[in-house]
Amino acid sequence: MLFEANLTFLVLKVLIIFAGTIAMMVSTTSFKMIQKKTVCVAVILGYAVFVVLSTFLIIYYFGYEHFLRVFILTISCPAVLLLRNISDEPFANLVFTGATHILASLYIAATVTLINTALHGNELSDILLRLLSYLLAALFDFYFVRHIWLDSVSMIKKGWGVLSLIPCAFIILSVTAALYPEHYAKRPLSFVTLYLLGAVIIAVYFSIGRYLSMQNGRLRSEQNKEILELQLENIRRENADLEALEKQTKILRHDLRHILSTVAALAESGDTQAILDFVENTAELSEDVPKPHPYCNDPILDATLSDYLTSAREAGIALETSLSIPDVLPVDSSELSVCFANMLENAIHACMKLPEGERKMSVRCIHSPKLMFEVTYPCQGKIPLDKKGLPKPPDGGLNSSFRSIASFCERHDAVYSFTAENKWFRIMVAL
């Protein structure tokens, strides 16, 4: 039952489908970099008004079936473009996400219509079934699909443009099968063709899921390799420090016998001042012994901080540190170490390009109310940022350390920012 004579019902039904589809899109889209959320909500509400008015006019003058044949151009495409302006995700990702949800929405809307027709329902039952269906779909996306989807998007950066062609092609096929030569509800057994196509769509998306899973696994393996290399480098650094400490300790232990003999001789002579002067001079020997400098209780993170901060000091960089790191970290210490290492490595490389007198770096960390790690260092000139807030290198590429930091934050729902103010560049991560 289409209830084509009830114009108010048709507009309300389209508005519910529109709102449900937008809710499904938003539930699997990242909006971390949005600063003016009120403006974004106002834009979406304004677009909803446009949907209502355009739907009313098209149905009033051309009929409901004609509206169904053009809704992709009047509603769906503008919705994807709208998300592009309020989301920080690449456009190809948004096209794939948006087209996939539009495709799912088509089948939800068609299924509700067929069920209501089979039950001989009225307008009210159609509206209630539609509201319940889209509510369940949006909740399923938010609680079960969102994490997996955003994780895949953060790890896999290429190939989305080609993948987005798949749901777009299926949308065209589904609309054609459902509306030509007339509406599927008016053709006996036409839903068989529609749902056979749905079975093909499910098979294709299963293959896409397998592909994304394999790509995700490969990229995670590379990340684990990076973590292992970092741990190995930290172990080498600790071994070198222990060897230096052991060597210096042997020298002091060898000299201790001579020191005690000298003190004993001076004590026998009764020269108290000479003993005090001798002890004061020999005490300076202990200053040459390497002393461990623990920054936190976690051995992996402590080794990482020690390694890079020691490298910074050896490079002649003036360090200002204020680190308050909790005993219990909010995420895995290996992944956190890689994130901190990228921040410090980038700062050290930037400082090395400056004259020796200008090499400065500030490293701060607080753990309340959230764990926040911040690295600040001098910068020359203006540093442009892309749509995701990542610095753009002069060569037009993307610094791998910045990309790694952003990927870490996206995986763990953390916040990152890169800012350049008053000739200082600041990198901040808050979990």
Of residues 183 and 292, more confidence is placed in 183
- Percent of the chain's residues with pLDDT above 70: 78
Q: Is the distance from CB of 91 to CB of 194 less than 8 angstroms?
A: no
Taking residues 351-380, report their average pLDDT: 86
Tell which residue, 402, 278, 386, has the closest CA to residue 345: 402
Given a cut of 60, whether residue 208 has pLDDT beyond it is yes
Position 217 confidence tier, pLDDT thresholds 50, 70, 90: confident
> What distance in Å separates the CA atoms of residue 127 and residue 30, rounded to the nearest whole number?
30
- List the structure tokens of 138: 């949006």
Q: Give percent of the chain above pLDDT 90.
A: 16
Residue 281 token pair = 């001079």
pLDDT at 341 over 80: yes
Task: Tell me how far apart the alpha carbons of residues 246 and 272 are, in angstroms, rounded to a whole number.
Answer: 33
Q: Are the C-beta atoms of 322 and 287 separated by less than 8 Å?
A: no
pLDDT value of position 292: 53
Task: State the pLDDT confidence band at 31, using cuts at 50, 70 and 90.
Answer: low
What does the pLDDT look like over 261-300, one tens digit per residue?
Answer: 676 666 777 767 776 666 666 655 555 545 555 778 888 8
Highest mean pLDDT among 223-227, 301-305, 344-348: 344-348
pLDDT confidence band for 232 (50 / 70 / 90): low
Q: Is the distance from CB of 423 to CB of 380 less than 8 angstroms? A: yes
**Can you give the pLDDT at residue 395?**
47
- Which of 376, 360, 235 is CA-nearest to residue 306? 235
In this predicted structure, what is the pLDDT of residue 327? 82
Q: How confident is the model over 98-148, as pLDDT tens digits?
A: 899 999 999 999 999 889 888 888 999 999 999 999 999 999 988 888 877
Which alpha helices (DSSP H) does 63-90 contain, by range? 64-71, 77-86
398: confidence class by pLDDT, cuts 50, 70, 90: very low
Mean pLDDT of the chain: 80
Q: Residue 339: which pLDDT band, with cuts at 50, 70 and 90?
A: confident
Mean pLDDT of 16-34: 79
| CA-based torsion, 315, 316, 318, 319: positive or negative | positive
Q: Which residues contact 354 (CB under 8 A, 6 or more apart)?
A: 378, 380
What b/e readout covers 373-408, taking b as 16+ CB neighbours within 10 angstroms? bbbbbbbeeeeebeebebbeeeeeebbebbbbbbbb
Residue 22 has pLDDT above 60, yes or no: yes
408 conformational bin, left if phi > 0, alpha if psi -120 to 50, beta if neither: alpha
Whether pLDDT at 34 is above 60: no
φ, ψ (nearest 5 deg) of residue 413: 55, 40
Q: Is the pTM of this model over 0.75?
A: no
Q: What angle do CA 358, 359, 361 make, to 5 degrees?
A: 125
The 10s digit of each residue's pLDDT in 346-364 is: 888 888 888 888 889 989 8
